Amino acid sequence: MEKYKWQSKIKLNIILLRIMGLWPEGDKTYEPGFYMVYSSITVSLFVFGHIFFQVVNVYFIAHDLKSIVATSYLLLMEILGGVKAYYLIKNMKILKERMINFKSDWFQPRNTQQRNLIEPTIYVWKRIYKVYLSMCFGGNTFWAIYPMMDKSEEKRLPFLGWYPYDYKKSPYYEITYIYQVIGICYLSTLHVNVDQLISAFNVYTSSQFDMLRDNIRNLANVDQTSSNDVYHMLRCVEHHKNILRFIESSTKFFNWILFWHLLFSGVSIGITMFQLTAVVPFSSEFYSLLSYGLAITVQIFMHCWSGNEVQAKSGNLSYAVFESDWTDLPEDIKKKLFFFTMHLKPVQISALNLFYLSLDTYMRILKTAWSYFALLYQVSSQS
């Protein structure tokens, strides 16, 4: 049977990251040469440069709470984009090794039934990704056009920032405007593709637990000989070990990313909700804020949902033993199966063992966002 092409599910994301200077070709990591220079320029210019000018601006508007709030809701996620770029480059070797794991025979579906078993989860994951992508595209579009739609005679940029020149004069205004639009598009693309990569690892892991459960369920149906029973039992044990090793190495890549992600998301959503009450309803700025708020909400849902899938499906492994015809197995296999089952525990994907990716965590983030919104609204009403 032809191998299942796991990498094809994220092929477009890899191509986009390569164009952005964030994914060296093939199985290579960053090496001295043209691509490293290209990567350094693009990341410095469109990630750290874009963030730098907005961070410096915070110093000059520190006395104005309204301006601080108007800047911080987006700046937090832009800083998170910088964090993602840093850890993506730093852990490139780990990521390339995980890509090789995708091709391993251990992680391949054994039959058509197992292929059909994993497709529903992949389908839902793709649907979530498309919604997330459309929200990001909508937000970028409205950010790019809302200053031009503004009826004010004052020249405005899409984002508040400090620049060492008078950006309101032509052609500095046009150049700065284009730079900000390119910068936010670069950061949005970075967010989308790194998030897709992280969720792909989790969906891949949950699919492995689906296949392992099917293998355990059909353990007694493989062959009636004792030697084959032992072989397939040992394969199940080894498959489980390989899945755990994959999870351990993958979390080394996204531990800090998810930590800051879960920390910033509630604040950003809360401030965005507050900003929606402060702008003209149904204006271009209103729609840009709405798209941005929905994008973050879907973004964090994608992570929490994929982590929840891993936890739920790994927790179901022990049930597969009782769904099999274990009573027909030889006594020594029953003992091995018993000890294997005793060591099966639900796997929780976490960020530094502080935040766990689950739907419960997602609901707590939304509650936190509402608390920030209520606090800001109350302070604004009193002032």
Question: Whole-prediction pTM value?
Answer: 0.89
Give the lowest-confidence range in 223-237, 269-283, 355-369: 223-237
Instruction: Say how far apart CA 260 and CA 255 lie, in whole Å.
Output: 9
Measured CA to CA, the distance from residue 177 to residue 124 in angstroms comes to 37
List pLDDT tens digits, range 155-173: 888 888 899 999 889 899 9
Residue of 203 and 283 predicted with greater confidence: 203
Q: Residues 33-66: pLDDT tens digits?
A: 899 999 999 999 999 999 999 999 988 888 877 7
DSSP 26: T
Q: Which tokens hold the place of 283?
A: 């204006």
Residues 258 and 351: beta-carbon distance below 8 Å: yes
| pLDDT, tens only, 21-34 | 999 988 888 888 89
Query: Measured between alpha carbons, how far is 321 from 214 in angstroms, rounded to an integer?
Result: 10
**51 closest CA partner among 78, 85, 21, 86:** 78
